[in-house]
Structure 1
């Protein structure tokens, strides 16, 4: 990474910038590890990396850095996203994505209230609470998208049983257990479909 100094305004932004640099293998020089929140609470709002060729993270107690490479947090995060260096993309089901959007809009209540109201749901999402909370707070470094749905083929046999398309050692076959069915994207499933088989979503 090149010389960079980032101006932040919130503790969340402070931590987000540090997350990028920690992930890239950088750390503070000669001081304790971690987010060093006390520096933020003491008034520091400028974080630097590789300043004067020093391969480390630095800060300015009195926010006195005025060099030409001083950028705002939003610009910094946009650079990370553009460079694909940091943006974390999580794939979730359509129903989970819809619920996250509902919480994010938090109509009729504050965001904090919406998160508290939906705490049980948030705990069930396997991504992890930290990433979800950052996403809900509009952190541009965290993205959620709907995973491409998977499909399977099924038919009803002469005895009224529902059977599923299955591939056994490269040979098409059928299986009675839904969780053993061959699942794939819609385009791939259509390659295997014949008039006997119907398509359905797998989840």
Structure 2
């Protein structure tokens, strides 16, 4: 790679640039931490050189044409480091984070050698682990995430709820809207689902609330 020199004007900007590079696995050439003393001593130029080491210019020797301004640098990072977000259940997220904390997560995933619970393989089946709200190969995404890819993140999707009741024939039915009018149906896949706050607006003494799958 060619070197990158970022011009900053505040200590917060200095730290933000370092946070980006630290997250990408880069380190100082011969230092540790934020090294605020470099900034306080006058340096305003942070450098990532061709051998992937961080350094600085104590005398700010780089010309304006050789530097990238802080705002432009961060804008660049937002484009190149855009997150791919995958939505999972809280239980699945707990399992992913547990696995990530393993000493060798990819090996543990491949060999299923870590101790969490006996039905791990079922929960991590690609067909049941992830929801259908994203595009992409979920298995590859999980592997890349466990390997340290910071462009991928997993989040818990907002829990949705539905309303149900037992009808006169002792069958479980669910509320749904037919042409805008509340009605009921036996197939829960057609049920009206919404966050709890919205669901409670439609609840009466006849209906019970349950989590939607």
Shorter-chain TM-score range? 0.5 to 0.7
What SS class does the counterpart of residue 196 from structure 1 fall into?
Answer: coil
Per the TM alignment, residue 84 of structure 1 is displaced from its structure 2 partner at its CA by 8.8
Aligned twin of 1:171? 181
Segments of 5+ residues of structure 2 without an aligned counterpart are: 5-20, 26-49, 53-65, 113-119, 131-136
Q: Is 1:183 paired with 2:186? A: no
CA RMSD of aligned residues (A): 3.6
- Give the whole-Å Cα distance in 2 for the aligned partners of 1:101 and 1:181: 32
Asked if structure 1 preserves the Cα contact closer than 8 Å seen for 2:85 and 2:154, the reply is: yes
Aligned twin of 2:108? 114
Per the TM alignment, residue 129 of structure 1 is displaced from its structure 2 partner at its CA by 2.3
Q: Is 1:123 paired with 2:126? A: yes
Aligned twin of 2:156? 146
Q: 1:193 to 1:93 in 2, by over 3 A?
A: same
Q: 1:114 to 1:193 in 2, by over 3 A?
A: same
Asked if structure 2 preserves the Cα contact closer than 8 Å seen for 1:155 and 1:196, the reply is: yes
Segments of 5+ residues of structure 1 without an aligned counterpart are: 14-43, 47-66, 70-75
- Give the whole-Å Cα distance in 1 for the aligned partners of 2:188 and 2:150: 38
Per the TM alignment, residue 147 of structure 1 is displaced from its structure 2 partner at its CA by 0.3
- Give the whole-Å Cα distance in 1 for the aligned partners of 2:74 and 2:88: 23
- Give the whole-Å Cα distance in 1 for the aligned partners of 2:179 and 2:156: 31
94, 99, 124: which is aligned to 1:98? 94
Q: 1:180 to 1:97 in 2, by over 3 A?
A: same
Tell me which stretches of 4 or more aligned residues in structure 1 moved more than 6 Å: 76-79
Asked if structure 2 preserves the Cα contact closer than 8 Å seen for 1:91 and 1:147, the reply is: yes
Q: Is 1:80 paired with 2:77? A: yes
Per the TM alignment, residue 80 of structure 1 is displaced from its structure 2 partner at its CA by 2.9
